[in-house]
């Protein structure tokens, strides 16, 4: 157990792109997140009112809208929400915290048939209070789904040694399958299922490696050299991406969960 102070989220991390992944959210080039690809097949119903907490650019809200939900989204990052509103043409995206949403939209209490939060729970400094608010918005018998990073994912020690994305004030919590199940059970969620989320795949891994290499390389060479070297970087990214994809099979990067509101 370790303790950090102040124990609170810092929303500016996302808008200011303190972690480079958020630049993809703000430019609208992020592909549909692999950790949410199991959402549709896990649904018990394909109609009703839904809320995606931490919706970012609205990719999941858009998907739920397509299959028949009256879908809403909520996020702290106004730049990502702007992508959802302008590029995805979504008009039910809200800016603010979950508590602010509940206070400003009192008619939404106990009204959602589905509440989802993908890659959100690990960001919560007070996860039990977060879950109480989630439960207050969900209809009895409704469904809750989401994902978190797997604390035992492939090469996680190297990931943590090279960057601070898995530490406060970005991530406050690390979950295993067992601890995630126990947490959801302690929170009062019923019919809990915890498994591994869909893996990114070889091409997605190669793309992410190539982007990272290009960003690193572009900082230290001229623009002409960078353009010439992109072909070489793509060649380097291919075996690294393959290696990571194979590792993901043994130790998947994300956990997927589903449950029912009491």
Residue 4 lies in a domain: no
Q: Are residues 34 and 162 in the same domain?
A: yes
| pLDDT class of 49 with cuts at 50, 70, 90 | very high
Assigned domain for 160 exists: yes
The domain in which residue 20 lies consists of 12-199+251-260
Q: Tell whether 73 is covered by a domain.
A: yes
Number of folded domains in the chain? 2
The answer to whether residues 227 and 139 belong to one domain is no
Cβ atoms of 147 and 197 within 8 Å: the answer is yes
Decide if 187 is inside a domain.
Answer: yes
pLDDT for 187-236, tens place per residue? 999 999 999 999 988 888 888 887 777 766 665 554 555 554 667 777 88
Same domain for 162 and 53: yes
> What is the pTM for the complete model shown?
0.90
Are 90 and 210 part of one and the same domain?
no
The two three-digit tokens of residue 237, written as one number: 């990214």
Answer yes or no: do 35 and 165 share one domain.
yes
Identify whether 5 is part of a domain: no
Cα separation, 172 vs 123, whole angstroms: 5
For 198-207, the pLDDT digits (tens) are 998 888 888 8
Indicate if 214 and 194 belong to the same structural domain. Answer: no
Q: What is the phi/psi pair of residue 124, to 5°?
A: -90, 120
Identify the CATH number of the domain in which residue 50 sits: 3.40.50.150
């Amino acid at each position: 157990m370790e303790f950090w102070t102040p124990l609170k989220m810092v929303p500016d991390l996302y808008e200011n792109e303190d972690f480079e992944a958020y630049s993809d959210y703000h430019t609208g080039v992020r592909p549909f997140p692999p950790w949410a690809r199991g959402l549709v097949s896990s649904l018990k119903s394909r109609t009703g009112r839904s809320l995606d907490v931490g919706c970012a650019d609205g990719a999941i809200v858009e998907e739920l809208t397509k299959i028949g939900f009256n879908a809403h989204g909520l996020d702290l990052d106004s730049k990502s929400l702007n992508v959802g509103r302008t590029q995805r043409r979504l008009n039910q995206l809200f800016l603010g915290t979950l508590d602010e949403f509940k206070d400003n939209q009192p008619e939404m209490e106990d009204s959602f048939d589905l509440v989802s939060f993908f890659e959100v729970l690990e960001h919560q400094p007070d996860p039990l209070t977060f879950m109480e608010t989630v439960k207050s918005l969900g209809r009895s018998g409704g469904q809750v789904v989401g994902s978190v990073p797997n604390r035992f994912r492939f090469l996680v020690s190297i990931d943590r040694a090279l960057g601070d994305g898995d530490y406060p004030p970005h991530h406050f919590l690390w979950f295993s399958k067992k601890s995630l199940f126990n947490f959801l059970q302690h929170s009062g969620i019923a019919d809990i299922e915890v498994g591994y989320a869909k893996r990114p795949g070889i091409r997605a891994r190669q793309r992410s490696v190539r982007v990272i290499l290009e960003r690193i390389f572009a900082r230290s060479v001229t623009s002409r050299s960078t353009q010439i070297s992109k072909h070489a970087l793509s060649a380097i990214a291919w075996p690294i991406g393959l290696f990571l994809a194979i590792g993901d099979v043994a130790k998947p990067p994300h956990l997927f969960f589903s449950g029912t509101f009491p």
